[in-house]
Amino acid sequence: MRTVQFWVIIMKHMFRTAEKFVIGGGRPLEGEIEVRGAKNAAASILPAVLLTDQECVIDNIPLVQDVLNLIDILKSLGAQVEWLDTRKIKISPGAKIDVAAMDFKKASAIRMSVLLIGALLPRINHFKIAKPGGDRIGLRPISTHIEALRKLGVSIEEEGSFYKISSDNMQGKEIVLREFSVTATENLMMASTLISGKTIIKGAAAEPHIQNLGEMLNKMGAKIAGLGTHTIIIEGVKKLGGVSHSVIPDPNEAGTFIMAGAITPGQVRVKGAISTHMDVFIDKLEEIGINLKKEEEAIIVDYSPELNPVRVQALPYPGFPTDLLPPLVPLLTQAKGKSLVHDPLYENRLSYTHELRKMGADIEMVDPHRAIVFGKTELTGQRIESGDIRAGAALIIAGLMAKGNTTIENIHQIDRGYEKIEERLQGLGADIKRTE
């Protein structure tokens, strides 16, 4: 009996302290909001410092939970970390990396920990690493990574919740990826910088944050060509040095704020948005009827009440980004007609549409990868739950435009990818509060 009472108390405490967003919809958004560093870029740039034993200074660090966890993992490996400014750190990896001391709990909690493999391989011959965690958006196996690394001469074996990795005989090779995998491309780039011979990656991903990583590695002394294309060539070198490098602004944040500005009265200037990183996304927004203007280092968006239905499919870069498909769907509920959204990558990506339907959205699931959005429909505030980072962004946009109050639970998922998003939206006039 006491055990039951104990767990009742614990559960009540957990639910009482779980943070939520409460949003009052229909408020105009006006002013400027600045884009922070790209989480997906920091995910590879931070592990890449392990490729040298010299000091590295990394600027524009996004202060989101996944990135902070990754920095803690680097500390657990023996790296010395000093914060030079709010978003600027100095990392001294040192001559010895203690893989056995890795914070495996945090490594198993975040998807980006998989990028430690490519960073550790050139320096550590034998090590174990926890299988990565991350969003609940479907199966995300690293079979592409494993197959490609094995072609370089790496031995990878599964041992329960770990991978056992050995790299005694790594050699540059030509590798054809079976899919445009971003993290597999990044792992191969890092692993190939310090091995003998030439590595050619065909079918490489070309995202801006991959280019950001390649530029950093080249500044460290690597020889990487073909960045921004689907064929990347790496000539192995013997040593990499320290570097000062900056994380690019986050195109996913920029896109989220652009769409929030489009669906609410007022004008929003998204500072730091790099339009050339979002060409297809911007083209699709213009097709929908969103009023925006591109500047050199910003995008200005005006309230766009008359929207057109579209067909949109998530594709590898430079196609429409999978991470910006969820925040687009609330906008499509306001388009006059029928829209089709298709995400062929993740079978659970569209699970957030069930939450939008609670708010009054007319959305029909065709299959796990496709949904039809019927508009125009009025959204009404409800109690809903964020299942992953991008689902959370979609629900925030829905709450901003809905009638009445919306409560979003499980917002720690949103915190993993958006830095203090409620405070930044408050700066535009949004009625959004974090509560327990």
In the prediction, which pLDDT does 139 show? 41
- Residue-wise pLDDT for 39-66, tens only, equals 999 999 999 999 999 999 999 999 999 9
HEC sequence for 302-345 = ECCCCECCCEEEECCCCCECHHHHHHHHHHHCCECEEEEEECCC
Task: Please compute the mean of the pLDDT values over residues 303-320 and round it to a whole number.
Answer: 96
Across the chain, mean pLDDT equals: 92
Residues 47 and 172 in one domain: yes
Instruction: Give yes or no: residues 159 and 261 share one domain.
Output: no
- Looking at residue 7, what is its pLDDT? 35
pLDDT in tens, 166-181: 988 899 999 999 999 9
137 pLDDT band (50/70/90 cuts)? Answer: very low
Running DSSP on this structure, what letter comes out for residue 221? T
As a whole number of angstroms, the distance between CA 417 and CA 414 comes to 6
Q: Is residue 5 part of a domain?
A: no
Domain assignment present for 192 = yes
- Kindly state the percentage of the chain with pLDDT values over 70: 94
Same domain, 45 and 154: yes
- Please choose, from the candidates 213, 323, 246, 331, the residue with its C-alpha nearest in 3D space to the C-alpha of residue 278: 323
Q: Identify the CA nearest to 406 among candidates 364, 356, 371.
A: 356
Same domain (yes/no): 229, 371: no
Average pLDDT over residues 293-318: 96
- Among 128-137, 198-207, 367-376, 394-403, whose mean pLDDT is lowest? 128-137
- Residue 16 pLDDT exceeds 90: no
Residue 310 belongs to domain with CATH number: 3.65.10.10
Asked if the model's pLDDT at residue 306 lies above 50, the reply is: yes
Q: Assess whether 233 and 258 both reside in one domain.
A: no
* Residue 2 domain-assigned (yes or no): no
Answer yes or no: do 310 and 337 share one domain: yes
The backbone torsions φ and ψ at residue 42, rounded to the nearest 5 degrees and listed phi first, read: -60, -30
Token duo for residue 58: 């990394």
The residue-averaged pLDDT of 364-387 equals 96
Residues 21, 43: one domain? no
Domain region containing 400: 16-36+249-435
* Token pair for 213: 């990583």
- How is residue 248 annotated by DSSP? P
Q: Is residue 6 domain-resident?
A: no
The two beta strands, 370-375 and 337-342, are: antiparallel
Instruction: Provide the pLDDT for residue 3.
Output: 36
Query: Residue 120 — very low, low, confident or very high, per pLDDT cuts 50/70/90?
Result: very high
- Give the mean model confidence (pLDDT) for residues 270-274: 97
| Claim to verify: residue 191 and residue 44 sit in the same structural domain | yes
Residue 71: what pLDDT? 97
Task: Single out the residue in 246, 279, 306 at which a domain terminates.
Answer: 246
pLDDT of residue 345: 80
Can you tell me the mean pLDDT for 208-214?
A: 98
Domain boundary among 189, 218, 246: 246
Domain boundary among the residues 189, 211, 246 is at: 246
The confidence band for 131, taking pLDDT boundaries of 50, 70 and 90, is confident
Assign 141 a pLDDT band (cuts: 50, 70, 90).
low
Q: For residues 216 and 208, what is the distance between their CA atoms, to the nearest angstrom?
A: 12
Question: Quick check: 9 pLDDT over 50?
Answer: no
Check whether residue 343 and residue 221 sit in a common domain. no
| Model confidence, pTM | 0.91
pLDDT at site 136: 47
173 and 207 co-located in one domain = yes
The DSSP secondary-structure symbol of 383 reads E
Does residue 44 fall inside a structural domain?
A: yes
The least confident of 151-155, 284-288, 373-377 is 151-155
The number of folded domains in the chain is 2
Q: Confidence class of residue 133 from pLDDT cuts 50, 70 and 90?
A: low
Q: How confident is the model over 258-287, as a mean pLDDT?
A: 97
362, 377 Cβ separation under 8 angstroms: yes
Question: CB 287: neighbour CB atoms within 10 A?
Answer: 14
